[in-house]
Chains A and B, each alone.
Chain A
Amino acid sequence: MKVYFKPEGGFGFFPGLNKPLELNSEDLPEDEASHLKNLIKEAQLFELSNQPLGTTHGADQKKYTIRVEDQDRQHWIQIMDTERDPGLQNLLAYLSQKQKEIRKMK
């Protein structure tokens, strides 16, 4: 399973923080790969609509694109920080933390 994660927006544009994260479950430790797969399952990501988010109200909000490729299927969604679904919140928290960890390692 491959996961692509791209944060965008916010109060400012910072080139170094807007780089996409790409994860391949085969490159992760077994426990973490299993955790990631569970997060995606619990978020029911493949069942969600993938309409691009509009910007009719508000400003400076962050939005996140998450794309998952798994065997013969792939799907992408966009969510915002005010997302209320606990499954999506958990997935977003994991990917944000992972991106921060990888940034620190560089």
Chain B
Amino acid sequence: MCTLKHHRHSIYCILPPYILKAIAENGNQAQRSKALQILSCDFTFRSLRLGPRLSSDISKKRPTAFLVAGAKQRTINTANNTQTLPGTVVRAEGSPASGDPAVDEAYDGLGATYDFFWQVFNRNSIDDEGMPLNGTVHFGQDYANAFWDGQYMVFGDGDGELFNRFTLSLDVIAHELTHGVTEDETQLLYSNQSGALNESLSDVFGSLVKQYTLKQTAAEADWLIGAALFTGKVQGGNGNPAAIRSMKEPGTAYNDPILGKDPQPNHMRDFVNTFEDNGGVHINSGIPNRAFYLAAMHLGGYAWEKAGRIWYETLLDSRLKPNAKFLRFAELTIDNAKRFNAEAEVTDAWAQVGLVPLAVSI
């Protein structure tokens, strides 16, 4: 802050934030402007310093010596309708059902997701090292959302008007846990195409957890994400009940006077360029979602056995970089499909959504 070569204004030196705030409030126009500029830099540096500290805190909290491969460690908290994380513990691993539907759905849903990753891919939790699964329910007042904050899977109760509680759909719980897996493996940047791939991977494994639990083949599955989330007031698309997204037919999950029409494209020719939604991460994910659906249908049987395995191997592939775009992801899935004699099916799935890799460059 004090390294300006030609001019050193006293305001750039060691003023603590509370003094800068006072200047921002009481100073003249020029002083206010400078103080705000410094406060904003100050915030950036404090945030940057906080990042590594948080990461080390997380790793310190992992009691890895006591973890057994294949054994879940779930803790469900309640935020008691506040916005404070993690809230208070209401159910820990092995304790009986609480009688609170949101608590028990989160507990069971995280358990089903853990079991899927362990039994199908031999993956031991989010970090493959047995990381405890921490969920928080009853977040906020009428909060219509679920999210992964880097440590906790957080679920709101819904607003009761358009959205039910977010623990009602198993694929939504699995979607949030998968964000943790993706963050651990590839750190796909959460914006634009890499962000849409991040979202698509959460939908893919979210849907697979539901199919695995219901023992459904690709042909039997509904390929809907969040089919239970909307209340009866929300209108679906194409005469179907409303859902958040459709992997089979992106763009048709809902068509409602209040929500609007599902904006997901199902082909690259309809790719949406936007600054909203972190560059359309929940919009353009429709394209790789449909590619996965098509690959699973081409390959037949249980989707987690071949198509799911190929997508999982790609998620673990060191060639998948944080800024990867759709075409690179398609190339890598095609390359990984060779080991499963599924190159033609996967290539065709991507071609049908408008992505045709010329050759896989290793």
Contact = CB atoms under 8 A, between A and B. Distances in A.
A13 B263 contact: yes
B1 to A, nearest CB: 15
A13 B256 contact: no
A50 B32 CA distance: 14
A59 B199 contact: yes
Q: Which of B141, B172, B282 has the most CB of A within 10 A?
A: B282
B150 A57 contact: yes
Q: By DSSP majority rule, is chain A's interface helix, strand, loop, or mixed?
A: loop
Given A11-B172, A57-B149, A81 B39 contact: no
B259 A16 contact: yes
A61 B149 contact: yes
A29 interface: no
Interface residues of B, number: 58
A83 B277 contact: no
Given A58-B179, A82-B85, A51 B146 contact: no
A15 B263 contact: yes
Contacts of B202: 59
Interface in B267-288: 276-278, 280, 282-283
A93 interface: yes
Interface string B3-37: 00000000000000000010011000000100010
B257 to A, nearest CB: 8
Contacts of B183: 57-59
Contacts of B144: 10
Interface residues of A, number: 37
Contacts of A15: 259-261, 263
Interface stretch (B40-48, B94-102, B348-356): B40-48
B258 interface: yes
A13 B147 contact: no
A15 B272 CA distance: 13
Interface in B201-249: 202, 226, 244-245
Given A9-B277, A16-B258, A56-B51, A47 B145 contact: no
20 contacts: A12-B245, A13-B280, A13-B282, A15-B259, A15-B260, A17-B259, A17-B260, A46-B25, A49-B36, A49-B40, A51-B47, A56-B51, A58-B183, A59-B176, A59-B190, A59-B199, A60-B145, A60-B176, A62-B145, A75-B36
Given A13-B277, A51-B43, 15 more contacts: A10-B144, A10-B145, A10-B282, A11-B282, A13-B280, A13-B282, A15-B263, A49-B43, A57-B54, A58-B148, A59-B176, A60-B145, A60-B179, A62-B147, A81-B139
